[in-house]
Amino acid sequence: DTGVSQDPRHKITKRGQNVTFRCDPISEHNRLYWYRQTLGQGPEFLTYFQNEAQLEKSRLLSDRFSAERPKGSFSTLEIQRTEQGDSAMYLCAILLRVSGANVLTFGAGSRLTVL
Amino acid sequence: SQQGEEDPQALSIQEGENATMNCSYKTSINNLQWYRQNSGRGLVHLILIRSNEREKHSGRLRVTLDTSKKSSSLLITASRAADTASYFCATDEFRDDKIIFGKGTRLHILP
């Protein structure tokens, strides 16, 4: 248990459908991050939150993607009108301070397969 | 966006041998970190080295950092089958709290 729960673990959907992923940190953390990872690649930064505020969105995040963190605890990532290119692992992470440095703790990820 | 480039992309060695992975990055950093990812799972933080440090040890892990060359290396000594995983370097940039990952090295330990 990493302290970050993601749901669902795996989602298979047809092209054009909407999907939503949820990230639940086990305890309160100010910073929450979303990354996307395709097969054989490293995690790519999508967006991050400071409490409820979304601080930055990557250019990877098209208008079909929206992320929220309404109460500064859990977060959701929604993809509308999914495309096959959206197939990837979506990773959520919280920022911890370890010996004065920023370190990420990741959830197990939500794998999206778009048919 | 991805900051680091790991080298090699894939590495297969015999159990008991040492494994060395390299990482190059582009911008000024606060620190550089290495993470491990087992197949289909999330990433786990392994070790961090600050920009003013040159070498760091943790158990069988040894990390070096050369800020003049913008490069780092991760050495795993006396490798074990359980070390089979992907390893990613990640940089914590000065200008914000984004942590940017490289593409990773896939390490396979042969029995």
pLDDT tens figures, B38-90 = 987 889 999 999 999 999 999 999 999 999 999 999 999 999 999 999 999 99
How close A73 comes to chain B (CA, Å)?
18
pLDDT of residue A83: 96
| Closest residue to B43, CB basis, from A31, A59, A106 | A106
Cα A49 from Cα A71, distance rounded (Å) = 11
pLDDT at residue A28 greater than cutoff 80: no
Are A31 and B44 within 8 A, CB to CB?
no
Average pLDDT over residues A66-77: 93
- Chain A contact for B101, CB < 8 A? yes
How far apart CA B100 and CA B111 sit, in angstroms, is: 33
Between the CA of residue A49 and those of A33, A53, A100, what are the distances in Å?
6, 5, 20
Tokens representing residue B51 in the block: 């920009």
> Which of A40-54, B18-32, B76-90 has the largest mean confidence?
B76-90
CA neighbor of A6 nearest in space, from A111, A115, A113, A81: A111
Residue A2: predicted pLDDT: 67
Cα gap B107→B98, rounded to integer Å: 26
CB contact under 8 A, B102 and A45: no
Q: For the ranges A3-7, A37-41, A56-60, B9-13, which has the lowest average pLDDT?
A: A56-60
Task: Report yes or no: A32 and A24 within 8 Å, Cβ to Cβ.
Answer: no
Which of A1, A90, A106, A112 to substitute to test the interface with B, most B CBs within 10 Å?
A: A106
> Does residue B61 sit at the A interface (CB-CB below 8 Å)?
no
Tell whether B42 is within 8 A of chain A (Cβ). Answer: yes
The whole-number average pLDDT for the span A36-54 is 92
The single-letter code of the amino acid at B54 is: R
Q: Is there a contact between A104 and A2 (Cβ–Cβ < 8 Å)? A: no
